[in-house]
Amino acid sequence: MLSKICTVDLKSGILCSKCEEKVKSGEISESDLKVAKILLGMEAKYPALQDTYFHGSMEAGNTLIVLVKKEDVNRLLSYGGRFLKELSERTGKKRVRILPYNEEPRRFLEELFAPATVLAINTLWLPDGSIETKVVIPKRDARKLPTNVELLKELAKKIMNISLRVEVEGQVLTWPS
């Protein structure tokens, strides 16, 4: 597995000065270290991991998001549910999603909301000076959302620092707690 973290560091459990600095600066999180070590341990069973570039991970609630290069998503999902199930068991997370790392907010949001279709993404400038991104999905796709709306908002905030407002064709969507 390829990543920002040295393979030797992952195997030994001791970080070099370069990786230690990345942790201190926030470029690498504790979650990234934990997930990268688990993925490295799974390479023998899932050979596609050897050529996969791991960008990072994000935990929100009982969900783990693993960010990899776009071309690596299908490779990892080709193992069917076995890979996701094992990763879920090893991380202790109920739900695991593999998403392509994308610096373009629109593409990221479309992947985050998949399999629901995104009709529109708009930027809202609020009177207090803050900015929100409004995502509109069709009414027929409201049930296709991969998880609850609050979790999607939290993931967008943590991964891309995007404050979301989600609407279903004219209705602000909230999720029962």
The answer to whether residue 64 sits within a structural domain is yes
Is this prediction's pTM over 0.95? no
The CA distances from residue 125 to 20, 128, 130, in Å, are 38, 8, 6
Beta-strand relationship, 120-125 and 95-100 = unpaired
CA distances 96 to 63, 83, 87, 122, 139, Å, are 6, 10, 7, 28, 26
Question: Is residue 177 a part of any domain in this protein?
Answer: no
Q: Are residues 83 and 14 in the same domain?
A: yes
Number of structural domains the chain divides into: 2
Task: Give residue-wise pLDDT tens across range 34-72.
Answer: 999 999 999 989 988 888 999 889 887 788 889 999 889
- Retrieve residue 109's tokens: 């949001």
Domain with 17, as residue range(s), is 2-100
The span from the CA of 68 to the CA of 56, in Å, is: 7
- Give domain status of residue 63, yes or no: yes
